[in-house]
Structure formats: C-alpha cells, structure tokens
Structure 1
C-alpha cells in the first residue's frame, strides 16, 4: 500500500502530495516511455525541461502505479485529499478516472463538500461515511473512559460528538475525572471539528512553554522531517527532552517521522500560537532548511517569519514561483507571487509582482482572484507596457468567464494600446479579438466581425519576417473587409506556412503554430481545401498527443473527427469522438458535443441528433458562443436532408449560412441549395448558388468546384443538368471528400430516375447506396435504397463485418494494434495504461473470434 496525506500548509507546493505518494516508487521510472519519465522528473524537480502538461504527468503517474501493481494489487490511500495542492489533486483525480484493468485502487478521504474544497474529485464513485450509531458510540465511550461516567454526562457527550469517533474520545479526555461522575455540562456547539480542535488546544496549553514552542515548530513544518525539527529546535535553544510531555499527552509521536495524532491537533497547536511565536518557529525552520536542497520550502518559512515587509524574502519567493512554474505548478507559482507582492516594500516591484501573480492566477484557473490582484497592480506605478497588460488580462478573463459581447471590444482596446509597445503581442491580441468575434457570432450585441476586422487593419506591422500567425491575421482581415475572393490568396499562404511550407513556414511544433493551429485548421475548411484540412487537423491532434496536452486535445479530436466524416470514414470518426468524450470526462472539462452531433446527423439518427442539437444550442446561448449554434444548425440541416424533410433542412441551413464562421457557412451552402431546390424555393437556391459559385471559383479546389457543379445541377433544367452532375462527380473523385461524392451519385441517380432513365439511374444509385451504406450514412443510404426499389432493383444488404461487434473505443484500439503498435505505445497515445490496453485486446479477440495480433492485422479493419 502507498499513502499520501494532504496537509493544509502544503497547498502552495506544486506536486507535493503526488511526490509523497510516488517517492517510494521512483526507482521504477525507467519502465516508462521517455516523455513520461521527463514529465515526472520535471514535475518533481529532479531535472530541468519545459513545464509538462499536468495530464501527461497524470499518464506517467498512472503507468508508474500500474507498473508496481503488476507485482501485486496496489492500494493508494490519500487522506485529507481536500488539502492536496491543486496540481496533485488534478493529476490524482485524472488517474482515478483512468484506472481500468489495473490491480490498482485509489481511495481519497475528503471532508464533506460544505467543509472543504475537493472539486477535483467530483464525479468519482463515492461512499459517504455516517457517524456511529448511538449504541456503538456508547460502547466506544465506555472503552475509552475507565472512570465511572454519569448517565447525563454520557448522553451529552454522545449528542455533542454526533457520531464522530475522534470527537467521542477527545471530548471525554478534555474534562476532569471529577466532572465525568456528574454535574458536567458541555456547551451546545454544533461544529464538531471545532470542538475537537478546542480539546487539542486545551491539552497542549497545559504543557511546559518549551514543549509548546517545540510543538509549534513541528506544526509549522508539515513534511515530518525529524532532522529538520531538531535543527530548528537547536536554533531556538530547545532540547530534545522537551518533546516528552507532548508525546505523553498523546499529541504527537517522533520516530522516523514527526506525526501528530490528527491533522486537527496540528492546526490546533498552530492556530493557538501567538503571532510572534509563529514567526519565531518559521524563522528557525528557515534557518534549518538547506537553501540548496530545498530552496522553496526555505523561502516559504522565511516569508512567514517576516513582520511587515522584506525585499529579500520577497525575491526568494519570486524565484520559487519561477521554479514552480517550470514544473507546471501554476497554482503554486501564483501563490508564491501573491505572497511576494505582499512582502515587497517598494511599490514598483510590488506592482510588477502583483501583475505577474494575476497572470499566474488566471493560468491556474482562479480568474476571480486574478482580478483582485490586478486591482493591486494597477494601484502601483507601472510603465506603459505594464499598464497595457492588465487591460489585456481583464479582456482574457472576461472571455474565459463570460464570453460576453463586450469581449472583442476589450481585446481591441488592449491591442491598440499595445501597438506602439509590443508589436508581436498587439498582433496576437488583434487575432484573438477577431477569433472571439467569430466565436460569439450572432449571439452578442458588441463589436461584430466586420467591425473588429476593420479595426485590426490598424495592427502594427510584424517586427520581423511575418510568421504563420501574422499571415493568418492579415488573411482574415482581408477576407472580412474586402471579401472572400480577395482574402483567399493570403489565407492560403498562411495555411501553407502552418503546414510547414513556403518562405514563412515555422517549425511545425513551434509554440506559435500550436497556439493557432486550431483556427488554421478551421480556416482550411473556409477555403474548401480538403488536403490542408486533413493535414492540419491531423497535425493538431498529433502535436497535442505528443505534448500530453489533454486540455486542447478534445477540440483537436473534434475537428479531425468532423473531417473524417467528410472523407467518408465515419467509423474512424466515431472512434475519435469516443476518445474525445472519454478524455473530457477524465479531465473534468466541459462536455463538448460537436463531434457526436455531426456524426449523428450524417448517420441520420433523428432522436440522437435532436437531443444533441437541443443541448448544444442551449449551452451555446448560455456561453455566448454563436459559432457553436451555427454548427448545430448545419448538423440539423444534414439530418433533415438525409431524411428528405427539405423545408426543415432549408430553415436550419439558412440559419447556419448566416454565421460569421466561414467554415460553417461554406458547409451549409450546399445543404441550403439541395433543400431549397427540393422544397420548391428556386429563388433561395439560386441566391445561395451564386455565393457558393463565387467562393468555389476563388478557392479553385476540386472540393469547392465539385460542390458548386452539383449545386448547379440541382437548380438546373434541360441537357446541361447532366453535364453539371458529371462534372461534379469527376471533380469530387479527385479530392478526399468521399461523403460528398456519394451524395452526388445519389442526387444524380434521383434526377435520372425522374427523367425516366431507369438503367442509368440504377448505376448511380447502386454506387451511392454502396458507398453510403459502407460508411454508415444510414439516412442517405435509405434514400438511395428507396430510389433503387423504385427502379425495380432490390439493393444488396450491407454484409456484416467482424468489426461491427466492437465498440468505437475497441475499434480504435484494434486499428492501432493492427498497425503493429505495442500495448505501451497504444496506451501512450490514448492516455491509458498498457494493462488496460491488454484487457481491451482480450475483449476484442473474444468478439472477433481470434487469438493473436497477427490475425487482427489480417482482418483489414475499416
């Protein structure tokens, strides 16, 4: 069994609780893949390197524990988990959600949510422990109290303790023997922990002064380091014999570690001490802590020994903050910086440190606390650039917390202020403002996309050779201010740079490319560039996986999943959607429905699509995300076109086409044209066709030109109609978008049948039905089946495939294993342990009726 105990005063030390749990196991690090070894090494301060994503640290922890569990079942007990540092709590909660087939269990003991902050563990299976029943409480009290006990006293102690075993023992110990026999009354205090803490305080208060000071030193040093305790005691002139009365009183024991009887005993001693004595204790601990071995703890103790301000102590805390940040402990870094600001005597560095603390608080997710620190920073003297940074951070916080319509304007104001001070940051802020305006879409009443794009024309020129993000900003600004046709060349240059081609290309894994790769991938859809969409979306997923960036991986998986729907790989898209859902659940992030919604719509599943659509629109409205609402409208249009409900499809597609998000508008235009032409609205179809044709000519891709040709065919009459259909098929054959090719065969076959050309119709409908059935586009396939039957042909039924028995998650694992990947490699990609992968493989083999990986490879999974 391995154990860890959360300590209230340890919450400022990043990964302290995790290190306490894993320290005895670190000799097994060599069994982990190199990126995971590095992640734990950096997190624990054993080596330098880039700050690891906390979920990569989580995967490394999971695999480390699973490696140990291979030798025998492993129980990890984390007591007082509500006092874990934030980084440790997040990692251990992630591990708990990913425990699968391992012989491994994690048990967290937390106080009731009303008494603690244990949000990281919400959603895990829980068992609430009730207090002892009255009979058991009386029995425990009888065994603990050896002297005669008056019935009224017993009843009152039992009532006051409320079934808390510790309270029963402590309340009985806190009174004199004479009182136990009768005439004793306890005040009616409902806070049992406070009563117990008071009992510990009374007991410690009767000890000799030297013993009380030694107890205070022990309470102020949560690591339980005996050697440090004696060094600090020596600083205070306290002998080791002073510990005896405290041990006799049952408050603590000292052997290989210093252990208090209960965390409440520790807090009782610390809280009861006078402030000067606390400062003396922390000063002695700082003096006894080696600055080379443990500089952060020394800085922490030294800071608490200060009365008033102290620049040297503040500077030490600032250095500790930098080390915490380098390990990925953003919350710890913020806490160190905040305290550093409070100890800084000079208003200039105090304002700077408060500003840095505000940024760190926001990065750690404590945006409200960041706002308070900004107020402190703005009260001090700041230079021009420092005055601009709070303005930018307030806008970023507002975007994170509210998604309000005022956010694009706030970002624009910040970008304008930054322009003469930091050209690169100004340009990035303009790009953020434009992206925010697109995301808000039509749900806000602030500055719209056009106004933001016009303002962004004032962005300063790049300081040097423009990078991919610079080109993306310029391309989007041109597109929204001068039209789609004018913007396409610039956007294509930007996307090629993100791809790693052209004179403006950066390393594909540069921070600039990673930060904006999601926007670049969406923009590729706006260009109808199927190759760039696939390459950039795939790269986004790959880079997020390699970095262990589970915070950004779900969005990357959604975009790649949608791309695979268009390429006709619905089974693979389903796997990625399932992975996205699993990661979102494991990390406790806000659920995202986009991938599942698009899949349900293309599969023609009315009930599922409707449910997901309703939830998506409601949440988009609540979060102020108009682009999410437009995507939901696009999905609804696909569903109704598949089902042949053209008036409903027309309404949904029209709403999606109104989006400022060009990808959604481009995807919705062909849906609107098909629906309007079938619903008897030729004027509406013609207007949409004119816009689509203009964009297709500007784009010049086979995908765009093929969709435009199909749409012209849907709105045409006479001999030219067939030419348009044939052009559409030829063009779409030359691109990746097989789903659109299949639907083109479908509408062409439907037209041929209505023209009375049954034989020609059968050929097109047969092709459409086979493609759509095989990819799983069930509603569109059903349309093809009905049309085929109308020509007198009975379509073949789709042959059941072995993989049909697998879940999406199992199919994903099977596909990866079939490529030759080991269980460890597959686990690293899917953030699971190798043992969990092996367990899934056993189920996969059983369902498929095979016994080896070689046979799996031979199945040629879809």
Structure 2
C-alpha cells in the first residue's frame, strides 16, 4: 500500500505511484531507470527523498551534481560508488583496475570511458546481488562530464540486476548535449490549482483576497518552491500586486532573487559563512569550519543561517535547495568570492586533495600567477592519468589564463585544445588555438596549432571541408616532423576518400602533396605510399604496396591505421585479411574500452561478416555499434547498415536506410556515403529482380571511382546491365573487374569470373561460373558464392539443362535462405518453380528468441563465459545469466553444451 503523502508532496499522487511501482519492480528482480525532469523548485528532490524513505529496507546510495564541481572528472560518480567499493573484488581484474585508476585509488594506464562504464555496471550488479540497490542522483544537470556520460551509459544497459537508477534533472536550457535522451522520463509540472491553493494557504501572512490567491497560483504555475518562498516577507497589501510584473524574469530567477534578499538581510559573518559553504562543492563540514576559522568567523554565525532555514550544517553540509547556493554565490562581489576561495585553498590539504586546492587557488587569484598555473597543470596531468580528458582540458584552459609568461600561456592553450579534442569536444579547439597563436609559437608549435585546427574541423565536418585544412597542416609539418606529417597526410586521404565526388580533385591534391615526402617505415608511412600510388598511378600499381602495408601490421599494431588497413584489404579483395584485421580491432577495443576504435571496428567487422554470409552475427555487431556510438558521440554504422539491409532484401526497411544515407551524404558532403547508398540500392534491386532500377543505381555509383565501393558496384552493374540487355554498359564494367582481378585474390578473381560468364563467350560461361563458385568458396565469401550459384542455375535453366539447374538453384536457395538473404532466396525459388519443381517459401513464425537472446546464445555456444559476453554486449554478467535462463526454457535445453544443436535445429 502506498505511503500517505506528506504536506511537502501535496498533489503528487501520480508521481508517487510511479515511484512506488518502480521500487516494486526492482524488488521483483528487474532494473529500472527514471529521469525526473522539471524546472527548479517543482519538487524533484522531494520525490527523491520519498523514494529514499520507501527504500529504507534496501541499500540506497545517493549523490548530486554540484555546479562548482563540474570540472572534476568522476567526482559525482565516485561519491555515488564509494559505499559500494567493497564489491570491487567481484569484477574482472581489468574492470577493477579501471575503477581504481578512475577514482584515483591507484596508479595505472588511463582507463577508457567505455571500460569505466562497464565496470560501474558490474559494480552495481555485484552490490545488488543480495538485495536490491537504489541509486539516486540529484541535480543531474550539473554532473561532471565523465560522471554524466558513464551514468547515462549504465542507465541504458541495466536490465536484470535489481537496480533502480533515478535522476533528478532541472530543465535549464543548458543541459549536457547528449542528455539522458532515450531513458524513461517523468516530466514534472506545477501542482493542480486546488493543491497549489492549499499549499499557498499555509504560508500566506494573513487573509488574502481569493482573486489574489488565484493570481499568485497562476504566476507561479503551481511551482511548490515558488509558492512557499515568493510570499515570504510580503504583506497582504504587497501580495495584491503579485509577482509577475513587467520584467519579472523566469520563475527560477525570481525564487533565487527571493533567497538573495533573505541572505542580504543576515549579518555579515553569516553571509560570509554561507558564501564559503556555497563555493565548497562537496559539503565537507570540517573543511568548512577550518576555512571559517582562517577568516575569523565563529560558530555564532551559523545560528542565524540555520534559523533562516537556508542551510543545515551537518555531515554533509546541505543547502535547503540548490537555488540557495546559487543565490549566495551569484550575489557575492568579486572580492568576497576571492576571499572565500582563498580560505578554502589554505584549508585544503595539498597532499590529500591537491586538485581542489589548485582549483580554489585559481579562483582566489587576482591576476596572473605562475605558481597557481603550474599547480593547475599538474592537476591536468592527474586528470589525464585517470582518463578525465575533459577535466584536464578545463584545468589547462584555466592554467593558460593565469600564466604570466606569453610562451607558457600559448603552450598551455595548445595543450588545452589537444585535451578538448581528445575529450570529443572539437568546438572548443578553434578559440584555444587562436589564443595560443597570439603568443610566441615556435615553428613546430605553429604546425601543431594548424594540425589541431584541422583535426577539429575533420571531426565536425569529416568530408569536403576537412581536406584542405589537413593538407595545410601536413605541409607545415613536412620539415619539422616528417612522421607527424605522414600521419596528417594519411588523415587527409581519409577525408578526401569520404568527400569522394563532392571534392573530385581532393584525392589527387593529397597524393601530389604527399608524393615527395620522405618515406617512412612506420605503418602510417607504408599505407600512405600505397594510397599515393592508388590515387596517382591507379589501383593495379598500388596492389603490391597495399599488400606490403597489410603484411606490415602486427598483433599489437597501433589501431589508428584501422581504416586504411580495412580498406586496403577490401581493395585487394583479401576477405580473410579483412576478417582478421577487424576481429583483432574489435577484440582490442572491447578489452581496453577504446571507443574511438570500437565505434569504427564494429561496422567494419559487420560488413566483413555480411559478405561471409554471417548476417545474424553482422546484425548483432550493428546492435552493439549503436551502444558504442551513443557512448562515443559518433555515428559510423550507417553505410554498413544500408548494405546489410540490402542483402537482407526487405524492400521498405532497406530503402528507408538507403534514403537516409543519400540525404546524409549530400547534406554533409560525404561522397563515399552517397556511393555506398547507390551500391546498396543496386544490391537490393538485383535481389528483387528490378534490374533497370539496379542498373540506374549502379551507374550513379560508379561515376566516381570510390575506393573499395567501385569494385562492389561494378559487380552489381554487370549483373543488372546483362539482365536489361545493355551489353555495352556490362562490357565496360567487366573491363574494370578484369583490372581488379590482377590483385589475384579469390574475391577479385571470383568477381571477374562472374562478369566473364555473364558477358563473355557462351561456350566459356559454364567454366567461368564454376570458377567463380570455387573462388568465392575459397575466399570464405558465402553471400557471393550463393549469388554465383544462383546466376549459374539461372543460366543452366535458360539452356533447358533443368536437372543441373536444380542442383545449383537448390544450393543457392538453401544458402540464401539460411543466411537471411530473403530476396535472393525468393529469386532462386522462382527459378526452381520454372524448372518444374515445387518449392515452398520459407516461412518464419514468431521468433522463439529475441535478437539479444539469440546473440547471447550464439556467444555462449562459442564457449564465452558470462563476464566476457557481458563485456562484449555492454551488459552485466547477471543480466547475461538471466537471459540465458530464458534461452534454456525457450529452447527446451538445460546446458550450454546443447545450445548449438538447438540453434541449428531451429
């Protein structure tokens, strides 16, 4: 039965029921996440208090964002997790280390955000193993960036751990860019009129006309805090004029102004006490009293503050409402603020908490101060050691502002720009680089500044707009740092490849600029030479260099070269190398939590699995990529999703993805994406038998020779053009595939053999089809092998060799249906019917397993333990076990050993 709401929660019956339902479901074994959103004073904290009271019998942890602390990496997350660290030993060692380093409990390699997120997910699950866990996070709009991102990630991955994660977030118009979008939300508005009037009655100073009460309720919008605070100190006569006169401003501002007036009426020492408490972000009572003693403020100052109902000086120190803190903070003059920070800096132990000491010193500084700037730079180093790139950027930016020496100011501004870039905040880079360029920079620093600006541009505009800035930066680095120049030219190649047709001369400009650069034997240099040859001398000339570059990769290779390595493998038609490179990259990224690699590796690997005919696994990886992209703040899977959808052959869903690719390609100047969309259209329509549409799409796709995509599209064009009778177009595409076959790989040889069979001499067609099937089979290209058998079967059937046609068509039909290539399977079925065979469509009923259950089942069948499956799918091991139990029931089995057989049977 629901608890009777107290006065503070008047009119919140719906919200209280929602919270009580959430708590019931968590006690029943499921996890639940909820974001309470509303304006300041609407009652979010009161609802969290209610939930904490209702959850008194289970473990509850609580933290809050503090505006003054938002520059400290992991600060709110560490407070939330601190009571749970006794469960740390239950996590895999790599996750234990990630949390210990992130929280500054031990030294080690800076952990990636994704790894910390998985570790926090596991910690919550371990803490909830014996009893449900309730995690409450107030003032989420002021969480530091790392805490916000990780808790948002965890909120999306909780499932069967018996954990409640509830955020209270103020609507300010300045929320984190990524916010908590996608999480369940409960929007809080003002109280209903009757409840608002009842609340107001309790605080009015005397009889007030009913029309005045109605006006007050209307002006406050039923906001409980406004109803309680705005009438304070006003007489009935003053209240008759209401609160919302001309220029009254937003409601939160008016409430804050009311708190400010109350503060201004207090004695000077009490105001100083409140100010020190307002700028001390964590509510550390002993630290507060130490700072007050340094200011000569005694205990008697506290009585007036508590009597005014503005603050509770306990452990921890708590303001009545965050608006009280902001009213005190914003109402103080600059000298008083510096004095408060100065006292807190002196009171803070430099050995125990050097970062907060440096932060207070920075705010206490009147002007440039090298000692404080150096301390901030050391704080930045410590933040980087914990993986807090955004915090390091903030420290360095402040250090640059305080540096008296122009050279040091410029150096620190460049370091701040680099940290912002590493933190995924390229928008801050141009201003910091411009500030650095005001100071004296040596030639290498000038080149670094140019490269930082170019890299930031390529992150925000990865296609056409990124090519020239990267070229300019590489040019500056040529003589100063040839290795950095080669890396930057390689990045320029990447931008030019993505720009494609929207910057037709881009590839040649990059190649000509990089051609006479001194060769480097590092991997980036080897790939750069191969791409220069590809762009200037043509693909055939580049094949040996691309092959050499692939062979230069080692097991522990820096995966910054992932994109050229994967593209080199496909340009050569080396499918097995593509599988190997992407498998290694995905494994490395999952193990280390390196989002920048994972968000690229997963779509690349999904595409490689698609051509192998492993579409279910490819779909699993694309689902995983969604989570990685949300965490990384990038989107790289669209091209692969379009291609996989086209091979699946479901027309409407595939066209929706392809049309999105086309719009994005044109809007963002990404010609490669446009080319991939055309290729996907051609695949889809060839599968459906819409050959004129397939030819039209393929012709659009090959009008610019895009790396990799060109060969794929030529294969589609040969098939579509021969079916429509346009043999000249087919012959031209065949010539290009003949050129590709000089790479000598099974994929290239198979594509050329199919083209020859379709367009060459009829007496050689049979042998060429058989060669194509053999090449694709040797290359592990299951999807293309099935398509080659389909084409061969169609050719045999048209020559009335029905028995032989049936053999090939049955093989094509079974393979395509098994892989999930529905349109190609249907094409094979229709051809079999034409041979006189009766073949039923494969009908799939309601799926026995959900996509996530099927993914977990496949991994479990492969021998992966729960912890490993959880790390790969961003789930806690307990959620994996919960899903496996459901899998066992649905498949009618009792052990992991039986999963593979049960799946094969289905």
TM bracket (short chain) = over 0.9
Matching of residue 318 in structure 1 with residue 377 in structure 2: yes
Contact 1:677 1:714 in 2 (8 A): yes
The alpha-carbon deviation at position 67 of structure 1 amounts to 1.6
Does residue 15 (structure 1) correspond to residue 60 (structure 2)? The answer is no
Pairs within 5 Å for 1:264-279: 264-279=323-338
Counterpart pick for 1:650 among 680, 684, 695? 695
2:545 paired with 1:490: yes
- Give the distance between the partners of 1:118 and 1:735, measured in 2 at CA: 45
Deviations 1:602-636 (A, max 9, x none): 12211121111111110121122111111111111
Q: Is the 8 A contact 2:108 2:385 kept in 1?
A: yes
Deviation, 1:714, is 0.8
TM superposition shift of 1:797: 6.1
Write out per-residue CA displacement over residues 23-73 of structure 1, whole angstroms, 9 at most, x where no aligned residue.
111111111111211221121111222222212211111111122222222
Aligned residue runs from structure 1 range 280-429, under 5 A? 280-403=339-462, 405-429=464-488
Deviation at residue 579 of structure 1 after TM alignment: 2.5
Q: Distance in 1 between matches of 2:612 and 2:785?
A: 9
The aligned residue for residue 740 of structure 1 is: 784
Residue 236 of structure 1 corresponds to: 295
For residue 38 of structure 2, what is the aligned residue in structure 1?
A: none
Paired position in structure 2 for 1:816? 859
Structure 1 residues 716 and 45: CA distance shift in structure 2, 3 A: same
Provide, for residues 621-673 of structure 1, a one-character-per-residue CA deviation record: whole Å limited to 9, x for no partner: 11221111111111111111112222221222222233443211121222111
Partner of 1:758: 802
Verify: 1:136 aligned to 2:195, yes or no: yes
Cα offset, 1:443, TM superposition: 2.1
Pick closer, same or farther for the CA change 1:259–1:273 going to 2, 3 Å: same
1:788 to 1:859, Cα distance in 2 relative to 1, 3 A: same
Q: What residue number does 2:516 align with? A: 458
Shift of 1:813: 0.5
Residue 887 (structure 2) aligns with: 844
Q: Tell me the equivalent position of 2:57.
A: none
Shift of residue 799 of structure 1?
Answer: 9.2
Contact 1:398–1:404 (8 Å) recurs in 2 = no
Matched, 1:613 2:658: yes
- 1:781 equivalent in alignment to 2:825: yes
Return closer, same or farther for 1:103/1:333 CA change in 2, 3 Å cut-off. same
Distance of 1:198 and 1:491 partners within structure 2: 67
Task: Please give the secondary structure, in 2, of the residue aligned with 1:238.
Answer: coil
Cross-structure match for 1:672: 717
Give the C-alpha shift of residue 745 in structure 1: 1.6
Tell me the residue number matched to 1:572. Answer: 617
Alpha carbons of structure 1 residues 489 and 669: separation in structure 2 relative to 1, 3 Å: same
From 117, 132, 135, give the equivalent of 1:73.
132
Question: What displacement does 1:581 show?
Answer: 3.2
What are the superposed Cα offsets for residues 549-574 of structure 1, whole Å, 9 maximum, x if unpaired? 34442332222121112112222222
Q: 1:97 deviation in Å?
A: 1.1
1:654 & 1:90 partners in 2: Cα distance? 44
Counterparts in 2 of 1:134 and 1:804: CA distance versus 1, 3 Å: closer
Aligned match of 1:200: 259
State the shift of 1:151 in Å. Answer: 5.4
C-alpha separation in 1, matches of 2:174 and 2:514: 49
Aligned counterpart, 1:503: none
Q: Distance in 2 between matches of 1:613 and 1:491?
A: 30
Instruction: Determine the structure 1 residue equivalent to 2:740.
Output: 695
Secondary structure of 1:121's match? coil
Partners of 1:153 and 1:182 within 8 A in 2: yes
What does residue 480 of structure 1 align with?
A: 535
Quick one: distance in 1 between partners of 2:262 and 2:103? 38
Give the whole-Å Cα distance in 1 for the aligned partners of 2:147 and 2:547: 43
Alignment-derived partner of residue 147 in structure 2: 88
In the aligned structure 2, how far is the partner of 1:689 from the partner of 1:81? 60
Deviation at 1:798, TM superposition (A): 5.3
Q: Distance in 1 between matches of 2:633 and 2:488?
A: 29
Corresponding residue for residue 45 of structure 1: 104
After superposition, where does 1:724-735 map in structure 2 within 5 Å? 724-735=768-779
Q: Is the 8 A contact 2:114 2:631 kept in 1?
A: no
Higher alpha-carbon deviation: 150-159 or 515-524: 150-159
- 3-state SS of paired residue (1:75): strand
Cα distance, 1:219 vs structure 2: 1.1
TM-aligned CA deviation for residue 859 of structure 1? 2.8
SS at match of 1:670: helix
What is the distance in 2 between the residues matched to 1:850 and 1:484?
53
- Alignment match, 2:637: 592
Is 2:599–2:632's contact at 8 Å kept on the other side of the alignment?
A: no
Q: What is the rounded CA distance, in whole Å, between the counterparts of 1:134 and 1:606 in structure 2?
A: 53
The structural deviation recorded for 1:179 is: 5.3
Q: Determine which of 856, 871, 889 is the counterpart of 1:828.
A: 871
Distance in 2 of aligned mates of 1:349 and 1:728: 64
SS in 2 for 1:638: helix
Question: What SS class does the counterpart of residue 109 from structure 1 fall into?
Answer: strand
- The answer as to whether partners of 2:717 and 2:733 remain within 8 angstroms in 1 is yes
- Give distance in 2, aligned partners of 1:118 and 1:740: 43
Q: 1:552 to 1:174 in 2, by over 3 A?
A: farther
The corresponding residue for 1:30 is 89
How much does 1:419 deviate? 0.8
- The answer as to 2:200 corresponding to 1:158 is no
Secondary structure of 2:131 counterpart = coil
Residues in 2 aligned to 1:716 and 1:303: alpha-carbon distance in whole angstroms = 77
Matched-pair contact (CA < 8 Å) for 2:600–2:636: no
**Runs of at least 5 residues in structure 1 that lack an aligned partner in the other structure:** 501-507
Q: Is the aligned partner of 1:449 residue 2:478?
A: no
One of 562, 576, 588 as aligned partner of 1:531: 576
Cα distance, 1:588 vs. partner? 5.8
Among candidates 548, 552, 557, match of residue 593 of structure 2: 548
Measured against aligned partners, the alpha-carbon deviations of 1:284-323 in whole angstroms (never above 9, x if no partner) come to 1111111111110000000111101111011111111121
**CA deviation profile, 1:98-152 (whole Å, cap 9, x unmatched):** 1212211222111225364464212322111111223222222222357555657
Give the Cα separation in 1 of the matches to 2:457 and 2:101.
32
When normalised by structure 2's length, the TM-score is 0.89
Distance (whole Å) between structure 2 residues aligned to residue 120 and residue 240 of structure 1: 41
